[in-house]
Chain A
């Protein structure tokens, strides 16, 4: 059973389009995250939700909007895609903060052309 699953795995789209990435975890964790990994492998936190409530919202363009319908799901919607949005986006989940490691999904490689 996949613990944290993301779909799609690959996403190629044109500039200006709107796209969504879905994430689901079956670990019973309360906290979920979105990270962005650039071409130099640098990972940056974007958002964090705890039990459906937004708790971290880093400096991210407001074209990015997370949505958590329940504590097992955290989706990422991106409006008006730009070339600079091309990256790998990772979803992760964790138990109560400070008490365990994160479990990451396998990533969504977004390419904007």
Chain B
């Protein structure tokens, strides 16, 4: 069953701009993770945020988690053409990761 729902479905920006993607989910979770998938490739783990954390940073990535609203956001700062990919949130509720439908990000130079 689907847990996460990303918003927007697609996002087009210019290089240097920031990209924000949102994820909403339905049930209690242990942690929430974000993944990137380049076209025709496997998923790559970006960042994990635990249910007792509110914000986490990794390089140009910033993730927030609001468990009261059951939502998370991924911010990519100073986007590059190489950031063009699909981004998925995934929730860990104790079994296997449940993925959302993803946001397709296109960064043009």
Binding site for B on A (CB under 8 A): 4, 33, 35, 40-45, 48, 55-56, 90, 92, 97-98, 100-107
Give the dominant DSSP class at B's interface.
Answer: strand
Q: Check B92–A104 contact: CB distance below 8 A.
A: no
Closest B residue by C-beta to A55: B95
Cα A103 to Cα B42 with chains together (Å): 9
Interface residue stretch chosen among B14-22, B43-51, B59-67: B43-51
Query: How many residues of B are in contact with the other chain, CB < 8 A?
Result: 24
Set of chain A residues within 8 Å of B48, measured between Cβ atoms: 100-101
Q: Which of B1-53 contact A (CB under 8 A)?
A: 2, 30-31, 33, 35, 37, 41-46, 48
Give the dominant DSSP class at A's interface.
Answer: strand
Set of chain B residues within 8 Å of A45, measured between Cβ atoms: 95-98
Q: Check A41–B86 contact: CB distance below 8 A.
A: yes
Q: Check B99–A43 contact: CB distance below 8 A.
A: yes
Q: Check A102–B95 contact: CB distance below 8 A.
A: no
**Nearest CB on A from B100, distance (A):** 9
Q: Check A104–B96 contact: CB distance below 8 A.
A: no
Cα A44 to Cα B90 with chains together (Å): 11
Nearest 7 interchain pairs by C-beta: A101-B45, A104-B42, A43-B99, A45-B96, A104-B43, A106-B42, A98-B30
